[in-house]
Structure 1
Amino acid sequence: MKTVPILLFLFICSNYNSQTLLSLYGTGLVPSNNSVIGSKKSDKLTYDEIEGSAYFDKQFSMASVSTSYEDVLVRYNIYKDEVEFKKNEEIMVLPKTDTFSKIVFKNSKNVLVLLDSTGYYFEIVKGKYALYKKLKTKFIDFVPAPTPYQADQPAKFRNMEPAYYIKTNDRLIGNFKSTKDLASQLPDKKDVLNSFLKSNKIKVDKEEDLIKLVNFLNQQ
């Protein structure tokens, strides 16, 4: 006899929660500025005038940006390390705050996390030991032709090699030069790591190898 009231209560709670998601739109938001200032060719170059892309994916994708806010269309600007969102045909920048510290792309399942003041990282492995990937894009300025017989070198964006980091409970380590360097940055796991590294051909610049290593650490 109590089943119907309980189900009704759960339905009302669920409906209430879905209706109380905040709208990511209002005062205090910063509009996106898709330009590079200070080029030799112009005081300001728009992204359309630059070869390559500043974005992980130029197209907007639906994503969850907070448990308290509605899902929105977003894209990640690697060059500026900003997450842009689109609503009502306006493009704004997502605030870098704890409220918006985890962006989950619905289709690709990629996860971006904001780690303090160091910016956004792609989450590769979750756990006590987490693996993150940092992407960077470099702006290479326009170079005028040195002679009338040579062509100008256009301004371009160039993707840099990704950098990988391992997060423990209290710190973020990275910029590994070798497996020996990696083990030295985890002194409490040095013995088990050295044993693991001896029996596995791990390369510190290979994502699949680091996934294997971090999964091993999480099993200890």
Structure 2
Amino acid sequence: MKKIPLFQIIWTCILILSPCQTVIGQIYSGTGNNPKLTQYMRRSVIEGVNPYGEIEGSPYYPGPEFNSGVIYHKDSTKTINVPMRLNHYIDEIEFKHGENIMMFVKPDEIDRIEFGHLTFIYSEFDPPFDKQDDGFFEVMARGYCKLLYRQSSEIKRENLPVSNFSGGNYRDYFKITEEYYIKKGDEPAQFIRKSKRKIIKTLSDYTTELENYIKKNNLTLKSDEEIIDLIYHYNALKAKKEK
């Protein structure tokens, strides 16, 4: 049987694996002509135009400024240096491309987005008073089980006292709604209230262990920090069981 030199085997392996690595490890830039970013583009508004100028408040989170961030795609590639912000009135993450403000056409092809020290995902969810939907969430606790935070807003009108100069008077403003959700794996995110009963019900596969943990640590589950703590404990219990 003919022996193949060791260096030839190593070189062959390198040639086979190198195309895979260029795909998996590919990093794109958010500036210039980026084909990866272009496939997500949908035109929003032209830079410099504020469609909400006469409305009190802001629909942007964490603020109106664009923060440079990273888009992690589900094909294991990523795009860096993308200026982004969340618009919770239209439930879109807006990003700048040249002089234009764009939105994502295919957010379901994105694994996660990071900017301004925040992490966002796009997920299906079950809202408290409506049919199943999908949208963007801030990730507050990571892992198999995630704690998600969601802001949404609507424009409301408030009638003001009649003025001698302008007659009927009013103001338009953003009414912002804050909600919390728990998401397990690839399941739709489930709405929760900050109550022991609701949270334990959502995490019912470890009811006894979580109730003991809550009692031992005197948790009320009224604060973000305590809920995050409980979620990480749940993930630790699940990981230990699956070993």
- Fold-level match, TM-score > 0.5? yes
Q: Return the alpha-carbon distance in structure 2 between the equivalents of residues 89 and 156 of structure 1.
A: 28
Question: Which has more strand, going by share of residues?
Answer: 2
Query: Could you tell me how far apart the structure 1 residues matched to 2:221 and 2:91 are?
Result: 24
Q: Who is 1:38 aligned against?
A: none
Letter in 1 for 2:103: V
Point out where structure 1 has 5 or more consecutive residues left out of the alignment.
35-44
In 1, are the aligned partners of 2:195 and 2:221 still within 8 Å (CA)? yes
Give yes or no for the alignment of 1:194 onto 2:199: no
Query: Superposed, which structure 2 residues align to 1:14-29 within 5 Å?
Result: 17-18=26-27, 22-25=35-38, 29=41
1:90, distance to aligned residue in structure 2 (A): 0.7
**Among 56, 73, 87, the residue aligned to 2:97:** 87
TM-score of the two chains, using structure 2 as the length reference: 0.69
State the distance in 1 between where 2:107 and 2:190 align. 22
Q: Give the 3-state SS of the residue equivalent to 2:219 in structure 1.
A: coil
For residues 154 and 143 of structure 2, the distance between their equivalents in structure 1, rounded to whole angstroms, comes to 31
Identity of aligned pairs, percent? 23
Number of aligned residue pairs: 202
Seen in structure 2, the aligned counterparts of structure 1 residues 210 and 157 have a Cα distance that, compared at 3 Å, is same
Paired residues of 1:50 and 1:155 also in contact (CA < 8 A): yes
1:173 matched to which residue of 2? Answer: 190
- Aligned counterparts of 2:157 and 2:106: Cα–Cα separation in 1: 28
Tell me how far apart the structure 2 counterparts of residues 154 and 60 of structure 1 sit (CA, whole Å): 27
Report the alpha carbon displacement of residue 144 of structure 1 after superposing the two structures with TM: 5.4
Moved beyond 6 Å, runs of 4+: 9-14
Equivalent of residue 63 in structure 1, options 65, 69, 78: 69
> Matched residues in 2 for 1:84 and 1:131: separation?
23
Contact 2:26 2:78 (C-alpha < 8 Å) held by counterparts: no
- Alpha-carbon distance, 1:157 to partner: 1.4
CA RMSD of superposed structures (Å): 3.5
**Which of 39, 48, 57 is the aligned partner of 1:52?**
57
Which of the numbers 128, 136, 144 marks the counterpart of 1:120?
136
Map Cα deviations across residues 16-44 of structure 1 (whole Å, 9 max, x no partner). Answer: 94479634236x8422159xxxxxxxxxx
Q: Does 1:219 align with 2:227?
A: no
SS at match of 1:58: coil
